[in-house]
Chain A
Amino acid sequence: MVSLTINGKVVQAESGEMLLTVIRRLGIDVPALCQHDAVEPYGACRLCMVEITKESWNGWKNYVTSCLYPVEQDLIVQTHSEQVIELRRTLLDLMLARNPQTPLIQRLAAEHGITKTSYTEVVEPDDCILCGICTRICDAMGFHAISSVNRGHGKEIAPPLHQPPQDCVGCLACALNCPTGFIRYTDDGRTRRIWDRTFDLVTCEKTGQGRVTREFAAFLTEHRGIPEEYFRVNDESHRKELAQTMGDITNSTREE
């Protein structure tokens, strides 16, 4: 166990925990747009930065991303000091220049007193904030269908060669976790379209509707041991029944 001070309050934390976890546990609101529990911390948006110091540092302060910084004994943390607020404001001001029409950014910027960017807006803006959650989740899922291309200001998220990605299975992990809804998809229960690819869903015999694409179902069957018939049932109560009996199967055949 480690003992540290956050905004004047002494708290205990497990050794190895990141500052952001502890901060959130205290109910303190620190924005962190590129952070997602399903993947490793990334440190890209910098919004979660906090001010740290120690008594032995003689007044010297450091600024670190709390998502990536592990707790330390006797650390003194300020999440809303003047310098940190100024930094967050500037970051949101800059993000608003790239994404002036994105509601999430507009809201966060407004919370920090900014309604319009003081910098030059990009021409033809979109809603991608380059948080990287989509690509990191896609990698964690094992599909690696999309990635970041180019570097610097021209960086963007795209499928290989800007063509419909062959490695995509239409699982929607990217779209459902995208903080701004930038990744669009359509789904009518029978077919799904995302990244310019069309997928057929495995449909329930009774309802004719489905939730999982054929490709994703095949992957889950092969790599997670979930029998294909599970996906062909769209009826809730029947599903729960199946799930209970299959719980043992998935646990015993799960790959690490």
Chain B
Amino acid sequence: MRIESVKQLVALQKELQQQDKKFARKILVCYGPGCLAAGAEAVGEEFVKQLKKRRIKGVSVEALKKTGCHGLCEKSPLVAIEPDKILYTKVKPKHVDAIIDNTIRSGEIIEELLYEDHETGNRVAHYPDIKFYSHQTRIALRNLGQIQACDIEDYIRVGGYQAMAKAITKMKPDAIIDEITKSGLRGRGGGGFPTGRKWATCARVDESPRYVICNGDEGDPGAFMDRAIMEGDPHTVLEGMIIAAFAVGANDGYVYVREEYPLAVVNMQRAMDQAAELGLIGDNILGTDFCFNLHVSRGAGAFVCGESSALMKSVAGEIGEPRAKYVRSVLKGLWDKPTVLNNVETYANVPVIIDKGADWFTGIGAPKNSGTKAFSLCGKVRNTGLIEVPMGTTLREIIYDIGGGIQKDRPFKAVQTGGPSGGCLPAEHLDVPVDFDTLTRLGSMMGSGGMIVMDDHTCMVDVAKYFLHFLVEESCGKCVPCREGLYQLHDLAVKVSDGVAEDGVLEKMERLSKSIVIGSLCGLGKSGPNPFLSTIRYFRDEYEAHIRDHKCPAGVCRELITFTINPEKCDGCMACLAACAYNAITGKKKELHIIDQEVCTHCGACVSACTREAIDVA
């Protein structure tokens, strides 16, 4: 059934809305990345089984929606009940019976499944009342947790594809580019380049064909916003791409999805198939002259392919070696043709801007940083998850109000943003507004949205070493500064971490970093030293403790710490023995356990296992 006109689209939406009203209640089971990892599928299957069996009036199996990421991953698996807006946390299959009997039938709330506010100890029944949710403004993530994931009808029901319809039937390409430019939308992949300007440059090039690509590579470890959008709301990405293609005059588009996201690959393809079936992509969309074909292109495990020129090489079936950016890919991109490359989240914003207008968008956020930004908030916070806040929100608000503060109330040490190209910001900057320009000025960067919170048990030298190791593994190896320079920089960081670095090592690393930054061919290399440069800027004394005193204050660097069991706290429960993979601990039940320092590798498994906090790390 092809949709041949805007009228048909609107009629279909009304029809779907009518059908939806039939449901007395809807059960939204979150199938986002966190919940899937925590066992959402088993919960979903149990609901399907029970709903089919029980035949409750107004709540058929169709009332069950498998949604994209609801957000509060820490408490997964999550189940939301609408229209009550009740949120159940840590749901297991065994809870399904009770949920159906009590909440679905009569709206009765099951206290023990509710979110518990860690400050007040109160259980909160409705998710809009949970600070994690009330402080957010979800635009790119607007449909996640609300509609059936990867379902074109549910997408149309909530108004999907109407912005696209407006764009291609009522607006001219130039007007669309104007609107996006006025909105101030900046690339959400991390670069923050003005999207409107990028589209305008491409549209002006006298060359064809042109291409529109979506960068779904999301290689930053610690970031999963794009994964959630691609899996949970792929149609918003498609809609944004169709609008972009129309604006710049492209008839072919690619969604590049990284290999480590198999479900996103499947869902993007499914979404394309669904849209093609309804005639919303393909030839003569909505009865106009406009034709646009979309394809999924799969990554194959290379962080460097998140870089635009490497990504385009990969789409063309080659190795992902970037090329020098003296000729920008917007002018000569895929197969040397003009190409617009934007991030998943950027496209997700486009339909909303076309629908509500540039002025509405600039009303949100901060000057020169309009709109919102999605973040994957993880690490040592209480409420890890997927969030979206207006630009200009402070780090403190994100980490403490939304994130619920540090786990076990440990002291906050730093927050890492921008992935391996970014940096760490310490407590003194908790009140800075989060936007592209401020974070860069302070030595970090917005990046794609990974936000990792660290406490006093995190060693900043270890963090730098970790990121450098990552970059060394992911370097394409083409240019000397990155291939050799980052390798040696990492080597020196290891020496610092092991306490065997020579005097003057920090100055050596700083000089080397400068050459790597200036000399590298692409962004991976150029920003490669950032993990070191940002940690040395704010935590120099920690580095010096490793070098001068051979100590790791955070108790992390293996060569510099010792684990001893405190005889006053150990009660001989044998938990550490069981956890130790190296058999380094001896002791009988109810007797003091002893760690053999010759065998101990300082892996820390015993510390994790010990419930008496009896193991000292120094």
Question: Which residues of A are interface residues toward B (Cβ below 8 A)?
Answer: 42-47, 49, 63-65, 68-70, 83, 86-87, 90-91, 94-95, 97-98, 118-120, 130, 132, 148, 150-155
Contacts and interface: CB of A to CB of B under 8 A. Distances in A.
A91 B480 contact: yes
B488 A46 contact: no
Contact of B477 (A47, A63, A155): A155
Contacts of B478: 42-44, 132
B484 A45 contact: no
A68 B488 contact: no
B521 interface: yes
A118 B508 contact: yes
Contacts of A49: 518-519
A90 B483 CA distance: 13
Interface in B322-373: 323-324, 326
A151 B519 contact: no
Contact of A151 (B319, B491, B511, B520): B319
Contact of A87 (B473, B518, B521): B518
Contacts of A45: 479-480
B484 A153 contact: yes
Contacts, number: 91
Given A151-B302, A152-B476, A43 B485 contact: no
Interface in B461-501: 472-481, 483-485, 487-488, 491
Contact of B488 (A63, A83, A97): A97
B515 interface: yes
Contact of A43 (B323, B474, B475, B477): B323
A65 to B, nearest CB: 6
B491 A46 contact: no
B519 A91 contact: yes
The winner among A43, A63, A70, A150 for most chain B CB atoms within 10 A is A43
A132 B4 CA distance: 53
A119 to B, nearest CB: 4
Q: Which 8 A-B pairs have the closest CB atoms?
A: A155-B477, A94-B484, A90-B515, A152-B475, A119-B488, A152-B477, A43-B324, A151-B477
Given A65-B324, A90-B512, A98-B484, A46 B477 contact: no
Contacts of B473: 152
B66 to A, nearest CB: 38
18 contacts: A43-B324, A43-B521, A45-B479, A47-B480, A64-B326, A68-B326, A87-B519, A90-B485, A91-B519, A94-B481, A94-B488, A97-B488, A148-B477, A150-B477, A151-B304, A152-B472, A152-B477, A152-B483
B487 to A, nearest CB: 5
A154 B475 CA distance: 10
A120 B323 CA distance: 28
Contacts of A154: 477
A186 to B, nearest CB: 30
B484 A97 contact: yes
A134 B521 CA distance: 21
B516 to A, nearest CB: 8
Given A43-B323, A152-B472, 12 more contacts: A44-B521, A46-B479, A87-B519, A90-B481, A91-B480, A94-B480, A97-B488, A130-B483, A151-B319, A151-B475, A151-B477, A152-B474
Nearest to A94: B484
Question: Which applies to chain B's interface (DSSP): helix, strand, loop or mixed?
Answer: helix
Interface string B523-566: 00000000000000000000000000000000000000000000
Contacts of A119: 484, 488, 491
The winner among B304, B476, B479, B521 for most chain A CB atoms within 10 A is B479
The winner among A43, A69, A151 for most chain B CB atoms within 10 A is A151
Nearest to A33: B480
Contacts of A69: 326
B483 A153 contact: yes
Contacts of A150: 477
Given A151-B475, A152-B472, A46 B481 contact: yes
A42 B480 CA distance: 12
Contact of A70 (B319, B326, B481, B515): B326
Contact of A130 (B304, B477, B487, B491): B477
A63 B521 contact: no
A43 B479 contact: yes
A192 to B, nearest CB: 30
A101 B481 CA distance: 20
Nearest to A131: B480
A256 to B, nearest CB: 19
A99 to B, nearest CB: 10
A46 B521 contact: yes
Nearest to B521: A43
A234 to B, nearest CB: 41
Contact of B480 (A44, A63, A86, A118): A44
B518 A83 contact: yes
A91 B479 CA distance: 10
A46 B480 CA distance: 7
Contacts of B512: 90
A153 B477 contact: yes
Contacts of A95: 480, 484
Contact of B479 (A44, A90, A120): A44
A230 B9 CA distance: 73
A221 to B, nearest CB: 31
Contacts of B477: 130, 148, 150-155
A90 B511 contact: yes
Given A68-B324, A69-B326, A152-B476, A94 B485 contact: yes
Contacts of B508: 118
Nearest to B324: A43
A98 B480 CA distance: 10
Nearest to A118: B508
Contacts of A148: 319, 477
Contacts of A130: 477, 483
A120 B521 contact: no
Interface string B42-53: 000000000000
A46 B302 CA distance: 23
A152 B468 CA distance: 13
B465 to A, nearest CB: 15
Nearest to A64: B326
A250 B478 CA distance: 37
Nearest to B478: A44
Contacts of A153: 472, 475, 477, 483-484, 487
Contacts of B474: 152
Contacts of B472: 152-153
A207 B486 CA distance: 55
A87 B515 contact: yes
A196 to B, nearest CB: 24
Contacts of B323: 43
